[in-house]
């Protein structure tokens, strides 16, 4: 029997998610995965593209940044017309792009949540951000965030400490809170364990969700999709702790529904991932 389709009512307006991230021509990660996730969860996706990449399931071959002025204009064009309930950031490519994005959001009057996926390392292991840009994300973007969603390698880069166990994940999450974020999702997909645990950490709570590790190579774009699932649910009016199990379940379902494309880390099956939205 198929899982139930998310419950959407005609009376509730679509939440608007503005995604600020890079493009993946293979469709597995970046802007493409973000749009698929937001759409699958019944919300509306708008975008500001920060970089064009040449990549597929085998890895990232090349990337070129979009001129910061064009990124600023994209964000401004969306906010002054369509608007946004949540802004989600992904790959920001360079120090100039990080500064442009932070300045534009800060000066726009936008007062909704910002979900920061600190994209620094691709699933393939390719480094996507230089040290100066990492410092700016730590010092300028994270304090702007409502939620930061690092995986283990990203948590290590942000905190400067090893993160290989659940205890170290919680410690890293606390360290990122101290950078100014009110909530951190530390994702355990890189744990060397048969059971993978994610931690949603705030100043007052630590909530964990675990799932058995899936023996699959189809994990391209899981981080982008997870953060965008959170952004979608926040845009729909749900709280962080309501969104956590649904976003987690969505990514799990999308991995199971992977179409099997590509010779490397294959894409997820966003359109076939069915989850039930929470009541209220």
Quick one: CATH architecture of 16-272?
3-Layer(aba) Sandwich (3.40)
Q: Is the distance from CB of 257 to CB of 37 less than 8 angstroms? A: no
pLDDT score, position 9? 47
pLDDT score, position 129? 80
Instruction: Please indicate whether residue 180 is annotated as part of the active site.
Output: no
Q: Is 221 left (phi over 0), alpha (psi -120 to 50) or beta?
A: left
The one catalytic residue among 89, 104, 224, 269: 224
Burial label for 272, CB within 10 Å (0-12, 13-18, 19+), is middle
Burial label for 152, CB within 10 Å (0-12, 13-18, 19+), is buried
- Rg (alpha carbons) of the chain, rounded to whole number: 17
pLDDT score, position 123? 57
Instruction: Please indicate whether residue 59 is annotated as part of the active site.
Output: no
Instruction: Please indicate whether residue 223 is annotated as part of the active site.
Output: yes
The one catalytic residue among 89, 104, 159, 219: 219
pLDDT score, position 10? 52
In the DSSP assignment, the letter for residue 270 is: G
The one catalytic residue among 47, 50, 57, 222: 222
Instruction: Please indicate whether residue 222 is annotated as part of the active site.
Output: yes
Instruction: Please indicate whether residue 164 is annotated as part of the active site.
Output: no
Two tokens, residue 113: 């949540």
Q: Which long-range contacts does 124-127 make (Cβ < 8 Å, 24+ apart)?
A: 124/58, 124/59, 124/60, 124/264, 124/265, 125/59, 126/59, 126/60
The one catalytic residue among 30, 189, 223, 262: 223
Strand order in the sheet with 114-116: 59-65, 44-56, 16-23, 86-89, 114-116, 147-148, 183-186, 195-202, 206-212
Helix-then-strand count for the chain, H and E:
8, 9
Q: Taking each helix axis from N to C terminus, what angle separates 240-256 and 222-235, rounded to the nearest 10 degrees?
A: 140
Each residue's pLDDT expressed in tens, for the chain with a length of 280 residues: 344 444 444 567 899 999 999 999 999 999 999 999 999 999 999 999 999 999 999 988 999 999 999 999 999 999 999 999 999 999 999 999 999 999 999 999 999 999 999 998 655 566 668 889 999 999 999 999 999 999 999 999 999 999 999 999 999 999 999 999 999 999 998 888 889 999 999 999 999 999 999 999 999 999 999 999 999 999 999 999 999 999 999 999 999 999 999 999 999 999 999 898 887 5
The one catalytic residue among 42, 53, 89, 187: 187
pLDDT score, position 11? 62
The residues spanned by each domain of the chain are: 16-272
Predicted structure pTM score: 0.93
pLDDT score, position 5? 46
The one catalytic residue among 221, 262, 266, 269: 221
């Amino acid at each position: 029997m198929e899982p139930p389709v998310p419950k959407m009512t005609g009376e509730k307006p679509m939440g608007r998610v503005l995604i600020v991230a890079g493009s993946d021509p293979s469709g597995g990660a970046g802007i493409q995965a973000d749009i698929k996730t937001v759409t699958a969860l019944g919300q509306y996706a708008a975008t500001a593209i920060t970089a064009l990449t040449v990549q597929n399931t085998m890895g990232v071959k090349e990337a070129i940044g979009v001129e910061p002025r064009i990124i600023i204009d994209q964000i401004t064009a969306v906010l002054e017309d369509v608007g946004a309930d949540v802004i989600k950031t992904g790959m920001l490519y360079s120090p100039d792009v990080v500064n442009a994005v932070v300045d534009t959001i800060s000066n726009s009057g936008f007062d909704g949540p910002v979900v920061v996926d600190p994209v620094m390392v691709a699933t393939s292991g390719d480094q996507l951000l230089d040290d100066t840009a990492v410092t700016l994300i730590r010092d300028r973007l994270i304090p702007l965030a409502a939620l930061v969603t690092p995986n283990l390698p990203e948590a290590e880069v942000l905190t400067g400490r090893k993160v290989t166990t659940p205890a170290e994940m919680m410690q890293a999450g606390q360290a990122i809170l101290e950078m100014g974020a009110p909530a951190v999702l530390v994702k355990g997909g890189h744990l060397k364990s048969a059971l993978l645990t994610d931690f949603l950490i705030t100043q007052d709570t630590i909530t964990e969700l675990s799932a058995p590790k899936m023996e699959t190579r189809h994990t391209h774009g899981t981080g982008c999709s997870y953060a965008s699932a959170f952004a979608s649910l926040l845009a729909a009016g749900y709280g962080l702790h309501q969104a956590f199990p649904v976003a987690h379940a969505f990514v799990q379902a999308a991995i199971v529904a992977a179409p099997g494309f590509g010779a490397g880390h294959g894409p997820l099956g966003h359109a076939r991932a069915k989850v039930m939205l929470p009541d209220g």
